[in-house]
Amino acid sequence: MLGAYLALLDHFVALAKGSGVPAAAELHGCTQRSRAMIACYPGGGARYAKHCDNACANVGTLEFRAIQEPIRTIKGLGEYYQAKARSLDFASRTVTCEDIFKGAEFKVGFDYLVVGTGCKTNTFNTPGVAEREGKEVFFLKHLFHARQIRSRILECFERATNPTLPPAAVERLLSFVVVGGGPTSCEFTTELHDFLTQDVSRWYPDLAQKVRVTLVEAGPSLLGSFDKALVTYYTSSLLRKQIDVRTHTAVTRVEETHDECGTHTTIAHLGDGSKLPFGTMVWSAGLAPVKFTQSCGLPTHARTKRILVDEFLRVEGLRGRVFALGDCAGGLPPLASVAEQQGQYLADCFNTHYATFDPSSDADLPPPEPVPAPVGLPFPRFLFAKSATFRYISVGAMASMGLSGGVVDMTKADVVGGGGSTFTGFAAMLAWKGGYLSKQLSWSNMMLVPMYWFKSLVFGRDISRF
């Protein structure tokens, strides 16, 4: 036994303290102390900084390497394996991992286990979505999804320039459907619109007027958790941009057809009975648990299948040796800000209290003493009371509208005592950019991100494919 802390993080796995948003803060905090750590993560050796909106990378506003950090650059990381977690044996305190290159299995022992496997995109078992994923249908969650979407968008425009294609095929290729009405879907839609108006109109002038963008949401409105006035403002802005917004409408089926000439067509069947041929569908309609969360034997909520944790983020019934945080843990909304604060809270607990406890004993891990509030810049931690239990402190909500501005909702923010204001336009856009820029994990990326923003604004986006 190495006395290691293990963490299973971000959609697949990580052993020790982090990789990805759910535990980035925790990893940085815990590596400040001298401990044996083991990290395992199958995602190509890098963690994606989701705080910098991935919608920007989908259309080339930002480049991929400006919004990711190599795991091996983490100070004090210890051992690192690029592998997936397959099973958990709490009796022997081991996790069975599978090497992603050759499939070889190996076991890693732990004293403490932190599960932060995140969630995967939920297709709601919609026929045809999983079958066409990676072809015409793309999820909007990870960095490799952004690369796929960017390549597909450019492919559609290049294929549409073929003079032998019939008009119907060109219209289908240039029909983009976005499924989901949350901030990620809405921000992607506005970034796509900026790309169409600023770059496509320049490099594909004959095709620009043939593009159709449709945003489909099964619920009654977009941005469901935002203030109603902001929802109306955002929706009106999309409509002014000639984006077809369809609420109270679900995608019931994705169908692949071939006509008598062998022409391939993909069609989205909608809940209102209409049919929508498309060339690219971006699906960001919900979250579902990953396989490990369902099979590891930890207690989960009957409906959401998220892991049950107490007020100290400990998994129930395991003597305080197993923790869960992020999207896979129940009790709080699956937000990046929740995962970030949970990571900071656990880092403080381990660094100041749990480090003195002997994990080899048969005693339950005692509750920690009060630790500082897990908020980050620009909100000083000393302004909030310490707490032994985890308390999520809402910092408000933001959504970008590309170059058209943005919306900021502070009406439910704990950092201003609740009852805050809302604002829109250029000021909201600056708040959004400043907020996400501050979440970058290295000085180099904090410099690269605004440089790429400037480059895209002045010189346009890169439309090369590779």
The span from the CA of 42 to the CA of 98, in Å, is 9
What pLDDT shows up at residue 116? 85
* Residue 54 maps to a domain: no
Please indicate whether residue 81 or residue 399 has the higher confidence score (pLDDT).
Answer: 399
What pLDDT shows up at residue 66? 86
Q: Which pLDDT band holds residue 439 (cuts at 50, 70, 90)? A: confident
192 and 203 assigned to the same domain: yes
294 and 315 assigned to the same domain: yes
Residue 393 vs residues 8, 133, 192, 292, 406: alpha-carbon distances, Å? 24, 36, 32, 29, 22
276 and 292 assigned to the same domain: no
Token digits of residue 9: 């993080």
Q: In this model, does residue 380 exceed pLDDT 90?
A: no
The mean per-residue pLDDT over the stretch 217-226 comes to 95
Give the CA radius of gyration of the chain: 23
262 and 408 assigned to the same domain: yes
Task: Indicate the residue among 381, 413, 443 that finishes a domain.
Answer: 381
Instruction: Give helix 443-459 / helix 426-437 axis angle, nearest 10°.
Output: 140
* Contact status, residue 185 vs residue 282, Cβ threshold 8 Å: yes
Q: Which pLDDT band holds residue 261 (cuts at 50, 70, 90)? A: low
What pLDDT shows up at residue 435? 86
Q: In this model, does residue 262 exceed pLDDT 70?
A: no
247 and 354 assigned to the same domain: no
The span from the CA of 77 to the CA of 5, in Å, is 11
The mean per-residue pLDDT over the stretch 430-441 comes to 87
What pLDDT shows up at residue 51? 44
* Contact status, residue 312 vs residue 302, Cβ threshold 8 Å: no
* Residue 67 maps to a domain: no
The mean per-residue pLDDT over the stretch 424-434 comes to 93
The span from the CA of 427 to the CA of 423, in Å, is 7
302 and 162 assigned to the same domain: no
Q: Please give the mean pLDDT across all residues of the chain.
A: 86
What pLDDT shows up at residue 179? 98
253 and 241 assigned to the same domain: yes
* Residue 116 maps to a domain: yes
* Residue 65 maps to a domain: no
The span from the CA of 278 to the CA of 260, in Å, is 19
423 and 361 assigned to the same domain: no
Stated as kind and residue range, the H or E segment containing 120 is strand 119-121
Q: In this model, does residue 10 exceed pLDDT 70?
A: no
Q: How many domains in the chain?
A: 2
State the CATH number of the domain containing residue 435.
3.50.50.100
274 and 157 assigned to the same domain: yes
Stated as kind and residue range, the H or E segment containing 119 is strand 119-121
The span from the CA of 244 to the CA of 200, in Å, is 19
pLDDT tens sequence across 15-31 = 333 334 445 445 555 54
Token digits of residue 82: 């690029």
SS3 state of residue 171: helix
The domain containing residue 445 runs over which residues?
129-285+397-459
What pLDDT shows up at residue 8? 54
* Residue 164 maps to a domain: yes
248 and 345 assigned to the same domain: no
pLDDT tens sequence across 316-371 = 889 999 999 989 999 999 988 898 899 899 989 988 888 888 888 889 999 999 99
The span from the CA of 245 to the CA of 238, in Å, is 7
Helices (H) then strands (E): counts for the chain: 12, 23
Q: In this model, does residue 428 exceed pLDDT 70?
A: yes
* Residue 180 maps to a domain: yes
Taking phi over 0 as left and psi of -120 to 50 as alpha, with beta for the rest, 29 belongs to alpha
Q: Which residues contact 48 (CB under 8 A, 6 or more apart)?
A: 10, 20, 21, 54, 67, 68, 142, 143
Q: Is the pTM of this model over 0.75?
A: yes
For strands 397-400 and 406-409, give the pairing: antiparallel
Task: Indicate the residue among 320, 351, 381 that finishes a domain.
Answer: 381
The span from the CA of 32 to the CA of 254, in Å, is 49
Task: Indicate the residue among 329, 356, 381 that finishes a domain.
Answer: 381
* Residue 265 maps to a domain: yes
* Residue 412 maps to a domain: yes
* Contact status, residue 90 vs residue 437, Cβ threshold 8 Å: no
State the CATH number of the domain containing residue 358.
3.50.50.60
* Contact status, residue 291 vs residue 298, Cβ threshold 8 Å: no
302 and 422 assigned to the same domain: no
Residue 39 vs residues 8, 27, 290: alpha-carbon distances, Å? 8, 10, 19
**φ, ψ of residue 353 in degrees (nearest 5):** -130, -55
214 and 274 assigned to the same domain: yes
Longest CA–CA separation in the chain, Å: 74
User: For the chain, what percentages of helix, strand and coil (3-state, to nearest 5) are there?
Assistant: 30, 25, 45
pLDDT tens sequence across 287-316 = 999 888 889 999 999 899 999 999 999 998
What pLDDT shows up at residue 436? 84
For residue 450, say if its preceding peptide bond is cis, omega within 30 degrees of 0.
no
Instruction: Give helix 183-195 / helix 228-240 axis angle, nearest 10°.
Output: 30
Q: Which pLDDT band holds residue 65 (cuts at 50, 70, 90)? A: confident
Cα torsion angle, 359, 361, 365, 366, sign: negative
pLDDT tens sequence across 116-154 = 888 899 999 999 999 999 999 999 988 889 999 999 999
The mean per-residue pLDDT over the stretch 184-200 comes to 95
